[in-house]
Amino acid sequence: MTTRRQFIEKASLSTMAVTLPFASTFSSSVRKQEDKVLRVAIMGLGSYGTRVAEAMKDCKRAKLVGVISGTPSKIEAWKEKYGIPAKNCYNYENYHQIKDNPDIDAVYVITPNSLHKPHSIGVARAGKHVICEKPMALNAEEGREMIQACQEAGVHLLVGYRMHFETKTLEVIRRQRAGEFGKTLFFQGLSGFMIGDPKQWRLNRALAGGGAMMDIGIYSINGARYMLGEEPIWVTAQEVKTDPVKFKQGVDETITFQMGFPSGAVASCLSTYSMNNLDKFFLNGTKGFAEMQPSTGYGPIQARTNQGPIEAEHITHQTTQMDEMAAIILDGKSPVVPVDGEEGLRDLVIVDAIYEAVRTGARISLI
């Protein structure tokens, strides 16, 4: 006769026999998922490409495995420095051949702004995920073409918004969303520096698509959106140019611009290539404020609120960015603030409106 205790013991052993292999398989699958590494090629081996490559040395989920460059000497130097195999090295004429290279998952496009669209679309058509430096394109029309191309190719399109993963920035965003500052009514964004070499591509309209706004001003546009948690409904803007020789037609030196939001909040921002000591965000609400200075530099970021300083360990932004982007692509992770093509497009729509406001002197509606 089977006692109740014997029945329970047998049932327990039977259950273990069924569940333990499953638990082991589940644990193994989770571990394998976390062990996946995004294999990245960098396209454009200039100063920022080098910064990303150095930061990726400390990544856990992303690895530099390839390069694309128009300069043979740079390719040779990177091969040696980063241990990149020759089969993963391409130039701007043959990079489409990455389609046949299973060792590359994604390409980080860090070429001049005017090349973002053709290079990103070329990468997408080769079947590789696209990470594109900001601004995503020269204008909203180009941005839409990039989004469509990546959708058709079935690949991710991510934009290099490193601040969307920065710890202190995310803490300010958390507090704003939690209502700790009350109703947020005002944002100030100051973005600029004194630019050097007048012959660099950033001062070439054909390559940059503009001037300071396309390089540094976009930080204030993007910052206003994530700090206020809203999308603007109108913009106004004014341009000031003190050096028309250095800043030729179509290359903006300084633009001040304003944005209005559905809640009634307003943003007042400055984009310039003629002043240092800026890089400041200020958010004001009915119950408190947040101030960040520096707010978007390579770090460490300094942040404080009406309750005091925000403390957090500084981690190289590009290291965190690439690990988080790997999690988005490999695991389907959803970031607190988006970094996809649609996010890049929203900024481009505003940039287009700012330039239109400068040209016409009118208030430009965004709805």
Q: For 87-96, what is each residue's pLDDT tens digit? A: 999 999 999 9
pLDDT tens digits in sequence order for the chain, 367 residues long: 444 334 334 433 333 333 334 344 444 444 455 679 999 999 999 999 999 999 999 999 999 999 999 999 999 999 999 999 999 999 999 999 999 999 999 999 999 999 999 999 999 999 999 999 999 999 999 999 999 999 999 999 999 999 999 999 999 999 999 999 999 999 999 999 999 999 999 999 999 999 999 999 999 999 999 999 999 999 999 999 999 999 999 999 999 999 999 999 999 999 999 999 999 999 999 999 999 999 999 999 999 999 999 999 999 999 999 999 999 999 999 999 999 999 999 999 999 999 999 999 999 999 9
**Of 41, 50, 17, the residue nearest 98 (C-alpha):** 41
58 by DSSP, 3-state: which?
coil
Q: Which two tokens stand for residue 72?
A: 């043979």
pLDDT of residue 35: 78
List the structure tokens of 335.
Answer: 């970031």
- Residue 171: the pLDDT is 98
The yes-or-no answer on residue 219 being catalytic is yes
Q: According to the model, what pLDDT value does residue 40 have?
A: 99
CA distance 285 to 270: 20
Q: Is 246 exposed, middle or buried (0-12, 13-18, 19+ CB in 10 A)?
A: middle
Place of tokens 């106004």: 236
Active-site hit among 134, 168, 273, 355: 134
Cα distances (Å, whole numbers) of residue 223 to 31, 33, 39, 280, 295: 36, 33, 30, 10, 9
Residue 214 corresponds to which amino acid?
M
CA end-to-end distance (rounded Å), the chain = 79
In the chain, what are the domains? 38-160 (3.40.50.720), 163-327+338-365 (3.30.360.10)
Question: Using CA atoms, how far apart are residues 20 and 17, in angstroms rounded to an integer?
Answer: 6
In 3D, which of 251, 258, 216, 220 has the Cα closest to residue 237? 258
Cβ atoms < 10 Å from Cβ of 193:
17
Residue tagged active-site, from 108, 161, 219, 355: 219
Query: Residue 201 and residue 289: Cα distance in Å, rounded?
Result: 38
